[in-house]
């Protein structure tokens, strides 16, 4: 028999960790290749982790509710054939493969305790926690990221002993090399101590779900790393509204789904991105990556979470094609059928905040993209026309949040002006939805 490892997969672009929400197997269960093993939550998607092997579940290393970094082992499977070693030598941690670099020998559960994941090591270093004084709740006493978060929130942090640096240095030989994290104040991290909030009679305490924690961490990262700037334009979409309202009933009968205003906005943005490719970029440290494909991320909300599926190559699709894809992606989100590949590859985000009645908002950028556009409610307003007369027009605000490391006001202003021009010239005489 041989032991194979199942690791936390990367379930979306920029996703660095996932939370085991539910195990679908138990120790001793026989599984086939591609059978689902667990349900995992991230800030971007809920997905099932499939088995890479046919065999018998030997150990569930992660508990339900535990958060593991991408690449960390979550369970092991015993398969027929091969040696009785737990893993091929090439896959063993460096400290095991090279005796000269090994940590001091430990026995029993201490063996698992001494193997710290990169996420655990980073938290311990940021908050000056002596890992030797922490009791882990993971399999075999393993210290998990959740253990450290609970300690940090309680404020009762074990102080490092004189030997702690040596112990952590030894433990690091068993973890993958990680780039040094920039020094950050504790208040700027997702693991900052929770504020003391008095709870009065009648107050309701609602536990924070794993997906809500993941959303919070990703939003905090975006706000902390990307210097946000904002700009807004007002657009007269009277002709667009008249055009869409005039054909929506026939369209629904013919195509089987609703033609929404949002499809027109996504098409206009995709066209403008093609003309202003600088906006379709991402920050990558020492360089800026200008993406070739125009893949529009759209925000779709459920009762307790927000997902960001992607319309691939939106500039090549018609308004009808974009409308169909918006409808299909929204249905996948609301029925729990969204796949990890549906979330990947986004280069720019368009958020339909107008669906909630909002008229002005400042969105947080979908990291690592460089900008996000909020499409607000279409409302009737009195407007002074070019001839000096006042008329009631259908108006909408477009609010752009931008990463000022990547983009400047000039190019963003020109981009918004082009989106405005496209929308204001959309009518039955100038625009085809097919």
Reference 291, options 331, 231, 332, 348; nearest CA is: 348
Contact 40, 21 (CB under 8 A): yes
* Residue of 250, 293, 304, 404 with catalytic role: 404
Sign of the CA dihedral 219, 225, 229, 235? Answer: negative
User: 72 vs 109, 142, 237, 342, 343, CA distance in Å?
Assistant: 18, 12, 50, 23, 21
* DSSP code per residue over 101-170: GPPPP--TTHHHHT---HHHHHHHHHTT--GGGPPP-SGGG---HHHHHHHHHHT-PPPP-TTHHHHHHH
- Considering the candidates 224, 250, 408, 429, report the single residue annotated as catalytic: 408
Listed residue (232, 236, 252) closest to 392, CA to CA: 236
Half-sphere exposure at residue 359, Cβ-oriented, CA atoms within 13 angstroms: 7
Question: Is 404 a known active-site residue?
Answer: yes
User: Could you tell me the two tokens for 55?
Assistant: 């065999």
Give, as one character, the DSSP assignment of residue 183.
P
Q: How much is the CA Rg of the chain, to the nearest whole Å? A: 26
Question: Which residues does 329 contact at the CB level (< 8 Å), separation at least 6?
Answer: 298, 300, 309, 311, 338, 342
Residues annotated as catalytic are: 404, 408
């Amino acid at each position: 028999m041989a032991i194979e490892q199942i690791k936390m997969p990367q379930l979306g672009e920029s996703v660095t960790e996932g939370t085991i929400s539910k195990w679908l197997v138990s120790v001793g269960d026989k599984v086939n290749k591609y059978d689902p093993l667990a349900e995992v939550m991230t800030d971007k998607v809920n997905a099932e982790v499939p088995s890479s092997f046919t065999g018998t579940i030997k150990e569930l290393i992660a508990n339900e509710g535990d958060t593991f970094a991408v690449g960390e082992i979550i369970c092991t499977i015993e398969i027929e054939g091969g040696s009785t070693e737990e893993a091929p030598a090439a896959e063993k941690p460096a400290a095991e493969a090279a005796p000269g670099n090994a940590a001091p020998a430990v026995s029993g559960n201490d063996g698992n305790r001494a193997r710290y994941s990169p996420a655990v090591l980073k938290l311990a270093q940021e908050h000056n926690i002596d890992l030797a004084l922490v009791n882990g709740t993971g399999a075999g006493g393993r210290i998990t990221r959740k253990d450290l978060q609970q300690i940090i929130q309680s404020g009762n942090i074990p102080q490092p002993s004189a030997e702690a640096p040596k112990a952590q240095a030894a433990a690091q030989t068993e973890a993958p090399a990680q780039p040094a994290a920039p020094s950050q104040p504790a208040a700027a991290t997702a693991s900052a101590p929770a504020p003391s909030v008095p709870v009065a009679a009648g107050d309701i305490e609602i536990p924070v779900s794993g997906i809500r924690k993941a959303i919070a961490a990703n939003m905090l990262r975006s706000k902390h790393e990307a210097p946000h700037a904002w700009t807004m334009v007002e657009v007269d979409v009277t002709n667009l509204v008249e055009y869409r309202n005039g054909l929506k009933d026939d369209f629904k009968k013919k195509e089987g789904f609703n033609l929404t205003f949002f499809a027109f906005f996504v098409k206009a943005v995709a066209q403008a991105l093609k003309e202003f490719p600088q906006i379709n970029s991402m920050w990558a440290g020492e360089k800026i990556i200008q993406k070739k494909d125009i893949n529009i991320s759209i925000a779709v909300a459920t009762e307790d979470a927000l997902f960001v599926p992607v319309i691939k190559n939106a500039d090549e699709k018609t308004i009808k094609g974009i409308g169909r894809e918006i409808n299909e992606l929204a249905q996948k989100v609301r029925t729990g059928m969204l796949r990890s590949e549906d979330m990947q590859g986004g280069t720019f985000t368009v958020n339909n905040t107008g669906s909630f009645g909002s008229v002005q908002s400042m969105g947080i950028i979908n990291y690592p993209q460089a900008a996000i556009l909020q499409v607000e409610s279409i409302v009737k307003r009195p407007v002074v026309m070019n001839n000096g007369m006042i008329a009631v027009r259908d108006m909408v605000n477009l609010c752009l949040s931008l990463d000022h490391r990547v983009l400047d006001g000039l190019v963003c202003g020109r981009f918004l002006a082009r989106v405005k021009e496209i929308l204001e010239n959309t009518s039955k005489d100038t625009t085809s939805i097919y």
